[in-house]
Amino acid sequence: MTAPARPHDCLARNDWICGAYLRTRRHVLLEAVLQHVRLTAVSVLIGLAVALPLALLARHWRWAAPPVLAVTTILYTIPSLAMFSLLLPLYGLSAALVVAGLVLYSLTLLVRNILAGLGAVPEETREAARGMGYGPVRLLLTVELPLALPAAMAGLRIATVSAVSLVTVGAIVGFGGLGNLIYAGMNTYFRAQVLTASVLCVVIAVAADLLLLAVQWLITPWTRTGRG
């Protein structure tokens, strides 16, 4: 007896790599990518807006640094499923639940790196600026924060890549971007969907990291001069 012929359609064969899946599901993929990018961007921007004041507070009042770092570190150690479960009574099954969780996760990376950048500013640079009549606000905005940018950007890059990964967990509440497709594909063993969505997650993470690296290169010209 001859073996039955394999289907010519890669979707019918359930192949891992399938051009027909890309053609027939492109709108679904685009919607998932946009949701993934939107959730990541909003979470990281809010995290940065919260982390900067916390880092400045910890820098100004040294006694505040240990509790701030301790709390943000504890938040980072909470498993993602547990984090979303703890936030569920506050935000319900919504995109805000995913954003809130990602913001809390980003704090430890952002606060630590901003503090490290501020701490690395040479004291003689501060003294020179004060000798030129710089007040505390002007010193912070024109001297300390610019010099802290490389370390802060490093933390922002790590937080962004981490957020791209953690967004997928939001699929448990229906707001996981590409994670929705990954989880649905795993439940039905839809190979092309699982592989395509996973690859797109990697592409988003790499693209975001390269974009932030380019931004860092543009806004810190003195680091290029120093290396040259």
DSSP string, 49-73: HHHHHHHHHHHHSGGGHHHHHHHHH
Which of 24, 18, 35, 34 is CA-nearest to residue 190? 18
- What pLDDT shows up at residue 120? 82
Which of 195, 160, 168 is CA-nearest to residue 16? 195
**Which range has the worst mean pLDDT, 1-10, 36-45, 46-55?**
1-10
Cα within 13 Å of Cα(201), Cβ side: 23
Domains and CATH numbers, the chain: 10-221 (1.10.3720.10)
Give the tokens for residue 30: 């685009």
Whether the pLDDT of residue 219 is over 90: the answer is no
- What pLDDT shows up at residue 1? 46
Whether the pLDDT of residue 228 is over 60: the answer is no
The mean pLDDT value for 61-78 works out to 86
The residue type at 26: R
Percent of the chain scored above 90 by pLDDT? 38
C-beta of residue 165 within 8 angstroms of C-beta of residue 149:
no
Whether the pLDDT of residue 222 is over 90: the answer is no
Cα within 13 Å of Cα(172), Cβ side: 14
- What pLDDT shows up at residue 225? 60
Stated as kind and residue range, the H or E segment containing 3 is none
104-119 as b/e: b if 16+ CB within 10 A: bbbbbbbbbbbbbbbe
The residue type at 35: Q
Angstrom distances, CA of residue 116 to CA of 31, 108, 205:
38, 12, 24
**Which range has the worst mean pLDDT, 77-81, 113-117, 164-168, 218-222?**
218-222
pLDDT in tens, 106-164: 998 999 999 888 888 888 888 888 888 778 888 888 888 888 888 899 999 999 999 99
- What pLDDT shows up at residue 6? 61
What is the Cα gyration radius of the chain?
A: 23
